[in-house]
């Protein structure tokens, strides 16, 4: 980058171009990251007319929250892009947390995406978000898929497609771009609050680590680790898909075809089996089923209120459970 000039990757632009004429929803909070994303997208003439700005007013900061909504509305108007502003309807909630606010926000995004008949949501996650998310998930306990999360293009199980064009750029680079281009943005004072884990990771953990290990820059090391994990995760996905295709037939899973496979492959095949049958397998139930399968004996295990997983020892299948109605 020179003189603050940055641009979206050509590969991503071609990907978005191939999705035409579908609308592209752009999540915009009014902060520097999302304003930079919107500005960069507006520079692409082939995409400009397809953009729709989505802003969710959490209402947690009074007039400042309303000011963010007005700013985004005006920003979109100047760019000649339609904007849709959402509001939290559960105003009586006594307290808020990161997860609750996120769920409220994405519920609004998903509703508007459905109304616009588009699966595409573009978000302004950047390189700093990748690092912070990695550390947060590591602390909570996460699989390799979780640690390798925040991909440039993510195809969700529900059919939605999240696109993250800024993952290769840092927050500092994005802010410098806005300063050079004289594009304003809104500062959210809650980004400095130590109430939120992400802020504590950003303002306390990362600087402390870099002080303790100045010769081993945490950010570059974590990005390298994540790159290697992405390679491993992609390999596991490919191997699991191959095994699943060999073992799955007529809604049943042939256990003999999976004999000798590592636990990591079996876990993924089991999840694919449930998805193919229209169910999502929770982690605790997956652990229980894997333990039962390793015993090699027939079993019947309830995996949902009306679904039973049955193993004959040679294959497994799901059976709907019909409970008699109470007279």
Domain check: are 72 and 148 in the same one? yes
Tokens of 212: 């303790």
Q: pLDDT value at position 193? A: 75
Domain check: are 130 and 207 in the same one? yes
* Domain-terminating residue out of 189, 212, 235: 212
Domain that holds residue 58: 10-212
Domain check: are 205 and 231 in the same one? no
Total structural domains within the chain:
2
252-254 and 315-320 beta bridge pairing: antiparallel
Query: What confidence tens digit (pLDDT) does each residue in 179-206 have?
Result: 999 999 998 877 777 778 888 999 899 9
The answer to whether residue 327 is domain-embedded is no
Domain check: are 179 and 55 in the same one? yes
Q: Quote the percentage of the chain above a pLDDT of 70.
A: 94
- Alpha helices per DSSP H over 79-141: 98-115, 127-140
The answer to whether residue 94 is domain-embedded is yes
The answer to whether residue 220 is domain-embedded is no
Highest average pLDDT, of 61-70, 96-105, 237-246, comes from: 237-246
Q: pLDDT value at position 2? A: 40
* Domain-terminating residue out of 212, 236, 268: 212
Domain check: are 151 and 244 in the same one? no
Contact of 232 with 144, CB cutoff 8 Å:
yes
Answer yes or no: is pLDDT of 163 > 50.
Answer: yes
* Domain-terminating residue out of 153, 186, 212: 212
Q: pLDDT value at position 96? A: 61
The answer to whether residue 244 is domain-embedded is yes
Query: What confidence tens digit (pLDDT) does each residue in 206-236 have?
Result: 999 989 888 888 899 999 999 999 999 999 9
Query: What confidence tens digit (pLDDT) does each residue in 134-162 have?
Result: 999 998 889 999 999 899 999 998 899 99
Tokens of 172: 């500092």
Expressed in angstroms, the distance from the first to the final Cα of the chain is 72
Answer yes or no: is pLDDT of 170 > 90.
Answer: yes
Domain check: are 232 and 138 in the same one? no
The answer to whether residue 201 is domain-embedded is yes
Q: Burial level of 230, CB count in 10 A (0-12/13-18/19+)?
A: middle
Task: Provide the pLDDT confidence category of residue 1 given band limits of 50, 70 and 90.
Answer: very low
Domain check: are 250 and 278 in the same one? yes
The answer to whether residue 5 is domain-embedded is no
**What's the angle, vertex CA 245, arms to CA 230 and CA 306, rounded to 5?**
95
Q: Which residues contact 55 (CB under 8 A, 6 or more apart)?
A: 27, 28, 29, 30, 68, 69, 72, 73, 83, 84, 85, 86
Domain check: are 162 and 238 in the same one? no
Query: What confidence tens digit (pLDDT) does each residue in 2-34 have?
Result: 445 688 888 999 999 999 999 999 999 999 999
Contact of 255 with 313, CB cutoff 8 Å:
yes
Cis peptide before 315 (omega within 30 of 0): no
Mean pLDDT of the residues in the chain: 91
Domain check: are 22 and 157 in the same one? yes
Instruction: Kindly report the pTM of this predicted structure.
Output: 0.86
Domain check: are 275 and 196 in the same one? no
Q: pLDDT value at position 325? A: 54
Domain check: are 160 and 42 in the same one? yes
Domain check: are 46 and 141 in the same one? yes
The answer to whether residue 217 is domain-embedded is no
Answer yes or no: is pLDDT of 178 > 60.
Answer: yes
Q: pLDDT value at position 192? A: 73
The answer to whether residue 169 is domain-embedded is yes
Q: pLDDT value at position 196? A: 80
> Domain of 230: which CATH number?
1.20.59.20
Q: In this structure, how many other beta carbons lie within 10 angstroms of the beta carbon of residue 49?
A: 12
Task: Look at 42 and 94; give whichever has higher pLDDT.
Answer: 42
Contact of 253 with 247, CB cutoff 8 Å:
yes
> Domain of 92: which CATH number?
3.40.50.620
């Amino acid at each position: 980058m020179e003189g603050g000039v940055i641009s979206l990757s050509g590969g991503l632009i071609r990907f978005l171009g191939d999705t035409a004429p579908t609308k592209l929803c752009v999540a915009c909070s009014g902060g520097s990251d999302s304003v930079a994303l919107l500005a960069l997208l507006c520079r692409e003439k082939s995409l400009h007319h397809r953009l729709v700005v989505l802003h969710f007013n959490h209402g947690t900061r009074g007039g400042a929250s309303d000011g963010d909504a007005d700013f985004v509305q005006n920003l979109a108007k100047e760019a000649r892009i339609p904007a849709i502003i959402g509001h939290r309807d559960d105003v009586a909630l006594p307290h808020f947390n990161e997860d609750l606010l996120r769920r409220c926000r994405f519920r609004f995004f998903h509703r508007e995406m459905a109304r616009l008949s588009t699966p595409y949501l573009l978000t302004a996650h950047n390189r700093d978000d990748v690092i912070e998310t990695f550390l947060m998930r590591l602390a909570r306990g996460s699989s390799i898929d979780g640690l390798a999360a925040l991909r440039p293009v993510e195809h969700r199980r529900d059919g939605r497609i999240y696109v993250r064009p800024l993952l290769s750029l840092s927050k500092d680079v994005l802010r410098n771009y806005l300063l050079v281009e004289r594009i304003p943005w809104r500062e959210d004072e809650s980004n400095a609050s130590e109430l939120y884990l992400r802020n504590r990771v950003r303002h306390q953990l990362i600087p402390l680590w870099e002080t303790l290990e100045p010769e081993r820059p945490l950010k570059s090391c974590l990005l390298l680790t994540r790159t290697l994990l992405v390679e491993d995760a992609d390999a596991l996905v490919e191997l699991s898909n191959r095994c699943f295709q060999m073992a799955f037939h007529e809604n049943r899973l042939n256990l003999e075809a999976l004999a000798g496979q590592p636990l990591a492959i079996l876990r993924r095949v089991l999840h694919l089996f449930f998805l193919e049958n229209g169910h999502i397998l929770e982690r605790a139930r997956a652990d229980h089923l894997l333990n039962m399968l390793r015993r090699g004996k027939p079993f019947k295990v309830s995996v949902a209120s009306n679904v039973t997983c049955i193993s004959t020892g040679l294959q497994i299948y799901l059976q709907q459970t019909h409970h008699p109605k109470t007279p």
